[in-house]
Amino acid sequence: MRKYLLILVVNFLAVMSYAQSKPAYLIFNAKGKKVSFQKMAKRIGKADILLFGEIHDNPIDHWLQLELVKELSSKRNLMLGAEMFETDNQVQLDNYLKGQIDDIESDTTLRLWPNYATDYAPLVEFAKANNLPFIATNVPAQFAKLVYRSGLKALESFDQTQLSCVAPQPMPFDSQLKTYQNILTMMEHHGTPELVMAQALRDATMAHFILKYFRPGNLFIHINGTYHSEYYEGILWYLKKQNDRLVYITIATVQQTSVEKLLEENQGKADFIICVDEDMTETH
């Protein structure tokens, strides 16, 4: 019996040693120095607005988002918001948070992402259970598609009432921003000036609705695709255009073959960079 127990202990220690030597993720600051979750959370707790840049199907991101919200909810008044909900769905989202809809997935007018149940429902349910605002910030898809086809000039045919769910028009637009220029390269022959305009419309709209609903004294935690806020551009560029007095923090997510050291190419993408093993299981 003692020999059997000894074998179990040895095997357990071996597994623990392997797990510790091969972490699934690590967190770094902008300069590539490792930081703890607690240190990151402490700094975020002093901010007004956090842009949490995720890889949409990465389970580490979704777990850390919920853990961060739980950690900070006892220290700050929180507001949540996400790219995954379009602005013209705010009423339906509010109705669910108020308990007027029993099953959010039964409302066919809510254009929920395919991975809603696994990845975003935990945040919405936390908001509902704790009476936290949850803001839909993304531009309705039909407007983004229109701009992708015809450019921002296509919005000129709509009146202000019709455009109430997008960033006020005409909006600032700088096609020379690093992240916008990179889109042209990454997308190759699909990378058009109109595609960049559609990206900017999403960024501008998310920034507009974050600030529209933000209330002083709160911490607004916004979930968005990592590219929408990398290199302090995208959403953050528009936020600072409208209000540069608030304290903003950004998180980016990257994938590497090894997470032990942040590659130079991934440094400087955000205030904090979550580096995840590239073999991490996807959520969908």
| Number of neighbours of residue 270 by Cβ within 10 angstroms | 26
Please enumerate in sequence order all residues whose Cβ is within 8 A of that of 34, keeping only pairs 6 or more positions apart, or say none: 26, 27, 28
Tell me the two tokens of residue 240: 């600072």
Asked if the structure places residue 284 within a domain, the reply is: no
Asked if the structure places residue 7 within a domain, the reply is: no
Asked if the structure places residue 29 within a domain, the reply is: yes
Cα R_g (the chain), whole angstroms = 21
Closest CA to 59 of 222, 221, 273, 284: 284
Predicted confidence at residue 22, as pLDDT, reads 83
Please enumerate in sequence order all residues whose Cβ is within 8 A of that of 51, keeping only pairs 6 or more positions apart, or say none: 222, 224, 228, 229, 235, 236, 248, 249, 250, 251
Asked if the structure places residue 10 within a domain, the reply is: no
Cβ distance 37 to 215 under 8 Å? no
Residues of the chain with pLDDT under 70: 1-20, 188-189
| Residues of the domain holding 45 | 25-277
Cβ distance 271 to 29 under 8 Å? yes
What is the count of structural domains for the chain?
A: 1
Predicted confidence at residue 10, as pLDDT, reads 36
**Measured distance CA(111)–CA(85) in Å, rounded:** 7
Q: What burial letters (b/e) apply to 108-124, b meaning 16+ CB within 10 Å? A: eebbbeebbeebbbebb
Asked if the structure places residue 19 within a domain, the reply is: no
Predicted confidence at residue 5, as pLDDT, reads 40
Asked if the structure places residue 147 within a domain, the reply is: yes
Predicted confidence at residue 213, as pLDDT, reads 98
Asked if the structure places residue 259 within a domain, the reply is: yes
Straight-line distance from the first to the last Cα atom of the chain, in angstroms, rounded to the nearest whole number: 44
Q: Tokens 């918001």 map to which residue?
A: 81
In CATH, what number is assigned to the domain containing residue 88?
3.40.50.11550
Predicted confidence at residue 9, as pLDDT, reads 38
List, in sequence order, every residue forming a beta bridge with 254; answer none if it has no partner.
Answer: 275
Predicted confidence at residue 13, as pLDDT, reads 36
Asked if the structure places residue 49 within a domain, the reply is: yes
